[in-house]
Chain A
Amino acid sequence: MRFDRHTRRKLVNYGFVGLTMAATAVAVIALLLILWSLVVNGLGGIGLHIFTMDQPPPEMPGGLRNAILGSLEMCAIGMVMAVVIGILAGTWLAEYGEGKRLAEVVRFLNDVLLSAPSILIGLFVYELLVRPLHGFSAAAGAVALAFVATPVVTRTTEDILRLQSNQLREAGMAMGAGKSYVIRAIIWRASRPGLVTGALLGFARISGETAPLLFTSLGNPDLSFALTQPMGALPTTIYQFALSAFDDWRALAWVGALLIAITVLAANIIGRALARGSHQS
């Protein structure tokens, strides 16, 4: 059967739209299935005890308190490092790096770091901090997480600052302010929602990272806040429990996975909402 040119073009068009819709559907359905299985398997196990009791020995009652608090502590410390370094580096790239060869190199390396397998970062920090100091520690875990989050923050900071109009920079300078003061007092302030978004996206990225922690903070069945000691974290506990032969450990792993998924989802939604809000103002 032969079609005229017009009909053929229409058919090709339908075919292409169909393909893109099918691909989208596959991605969305996969995501929904993951969330669904997390909810089905994890929701039943959630209770107050999850937040008040530490992880138990096999076949004993317990929760995930040590892992939740450990994750929060290492993520918080890692984010402080990542935000400070990332915002300063991103600012340099956007405001001072224009046309500089070094800026191109830094940007390229940052992109490489952005997509580096996180297990490599774990190994790197192991060589950097764990081996020389003869021990796994929460500090090493926080540093490894910082290595993962910094390129995210750097990248979003640069992108967000570039969105600010040059006229705003000129307006600040035309008042007689120096360049660095204009950046700090005007450009950063105008970019604040975007900068917070970058930090939240970085946080979302590291809150579920397991590999960087396996060689650094290791994991700890007991509650510990000491930076010099191994520390529990949700991803490492999930990793350990999910692979175990005990049903109640596996149930706890599902709960932990659900908690991480909720956190990541919330951070992403808040981050995006803030970014959108900043475009409207």
Chain B
Amino acid sequence: MNFDAKQADVASVILPPPMEQRVLDVRGLNFFYGKHQALFGVDLPVARGKITALIGPSGCGKSTLLRTLNKIYDLYPGQHAEGQILFNGENLLNPREAVEDAPPAAGPAINGDNARLRARIGMVFQRPTPFPMSIYENIAFGVRLHRNVSRAQMDEIVETSLTRAALWDEVKDKLDKSGLSLSGGQQQRLCVARGIAVEPEVLLLDEPASALDPLSTAKLETALIELKQSFTIVIVTHNLQQAARISDYTGFMLMGKMVEFRPSGEAFVRPATAAMRDYVTGRYG
């Protein structure tokens, strides 16, 4: 299908990746902060080994959507989600529901166990959140939660994770220094390294570059593009150039709804909906 900008003033356009490529599939998701509904029947198909970007104006629900994927909202009583988040052959929101066309299981059943879920879907936050311990221990923290490894294995995991997050060369001589002693950009890459050290299938990033300068942002983006060889990435960003530069699919959200979801190349060159066109050209709001 090809969308012409002139004929495209439609309410919503969803062009998902084929079913067999999906690793995570959100269908008809409603989300509530207490009584306030923040997401309305949102669909989000996430393709394996790709970068999916979520864009949209502040308050459109993109971070909320991201936070449902690893169920981190669980921490707060009063927040709840309804609908389907299909992963590993299960509906994360209702482990007992029988789902037929879900992305197949690639590991042991999750069965509503948040620890197991979060070992497979990692997250990096807006502000760098190094733990108050050494760089080495920051990486080891998550690994120890899920696996027993020898010191030698751990050394190797620490090195590979930091290398993949493009941080190894900068910190290899000071692994025993506090993670808090690093610069903001380095801290954020430390958080990425920490996230991938547990070998998740999916890595969620919530505006990871919003607190970083352009140079640190560039380093982080390079790391992310390398990482999609091994991981599926979902990234929330306010930076449209960033979404266009690194993502394979882009979801544009507005007022708690998924308005447009398409391969990024087409979506940014010729937005199909009037809303996304206005947003991308800076006419929104």
- A residues with a Cβ closer than 8 A to B are 99, 165, 167-179, 181, 185-186, 189-190, 192, 281
Contact = CB atoms under 8 A, between A and B. Distances in A.
B146 interface: yes
Nearest to A171: B129
Contacts of B141: 175, 177, 185
Contacts of A170: 72, 75, 123, 125, 129
27 contacts: A167-B127, A168-B129, A168-B131, A170-B125, A171-B129, A171-B191, A173-B72, A173-B75, A174-B118, A174-B122, A174-B123, A174-B195, A175-B118, A176-B114, A176-B117, A176-B119, A176-B145, A176-B198, A177-B115, A177-B145, A178-B115, A179-B75, A185-B131, A185-B141, A189-B133, A190-B131, A190-B132
A281 B180 contact: yes
Residue of B117, B131, B141, B191 with highest tally of chain A CB at under 10 A: B131
A39 B114 CA distance: 62
A176 B115 contact: yes
A189 B115 contact: no
Nearest to A179: B75
A178 B114 CA distance: 9
Contact of B131 (A172, A173, A179): A172
A179 B146 CA distance: 15
Given A167-B127, A168-B129, A176 B75 contact: no
Contacts of A175: 118, 122, 141-142, 145, 194-195, 198
Contacts of B174: none
Nearest to A278: B132
B163 to A, nearest CB: 20
A167 B208 CA distance: 13
Interface in B90-148: 114-119, 122-123, 125-127, 129, 131-133, 141-142, 145-146
Contacts of A176: 114-119, 142, 145-146, 198
A169 B131 contact: no
A167 B70 CA distance: 14
Interface residues on B, range: 20 to 34
A179 B74 CA distance: 11
A165 B127 contact: yes
A188 to B, nearest CB: 9
B77 interface: yes
A160 B105 CA distance: 43
B198 A189 contact: no
Nearest to A178: B115
Interface string B68-79: 001010010100
Contacts of B70: 174
Nearest to A164: B132
Residue of A167, A168, A171, A177 with highest tally of chain B CB at under 10 A: A171
Residue of B119, B142, B191 with highest tally of chain A CB at under 10 A: B142
Q: Which 10 A-B pairs have the closest CB atoms?
A: A171-B129, A176-B118, A175-B142, A174-B123, A190-B132, A176-B115, A176-B119, A189-B132, A167-B125, A168-B129
Residue of A170, A176, A189, A281 with highest tally of chain B CB at under 10 A: A176
Nearest to B115: A176
A192 B226 CA distance: 38
Contacts of B122: 174-175
A165 B198 CA distance: 24
Contacts of A181: 145
A103 to B, nearest CB: 13
B60 to A, nearest CB: 20
A186 B118 contact: no
B114 A186 contact: no
Contacts of A171: 123, 125, 129, 131, 191
Nearest to B118: A176
Contacts of A178: 115
A186 B125 contact: no
Given A165-B127, A171-B123, A173-B118, 11 more contacts: A167-B126, A170-B123, A170-B129, A171-B191, A175-B145, A176-B146, A177-B115, A177-B145, A178-B115, A186-B132, A189-B132
Contacts of B72: 170, 173-174
Contact of A169 (B75, B126, B132, B195): B75
